Amino acid sequence: MTIPVALHLTVRIPSDLRNRLRTSATTNRRSMNSEIIHHLDCALEAQKTKGAAGSAIPPRHDHTQTDEGTGNE
């Protein structure tokens, strides 16, 4: 029997997404860690079922940074 190994990972998450995750975790009575794992698992399962293009996440338009010289400012 193989024992799963947990990976400690530090990720920067925008505050608005963190707040949405916290609300979802509270509603679903899960820890933040469990909620993130749940959403990642669901997204990856959807990708496997629909194919990469069917579950593609559109780019987020974050106006806090600019793409200098590309016209996307």
Check pLDDT > 60 for residue 65.
no
pTM above 0.75, yes or no: no
pLDDT of residue 50: 79
Q: Are 10 and 21 in contact (CB under 8 A)?
A: no
Is the separation of the CB atoms in 16 and 24 below 8 Å?
no
Diameter over CA atoms, the chain: 55
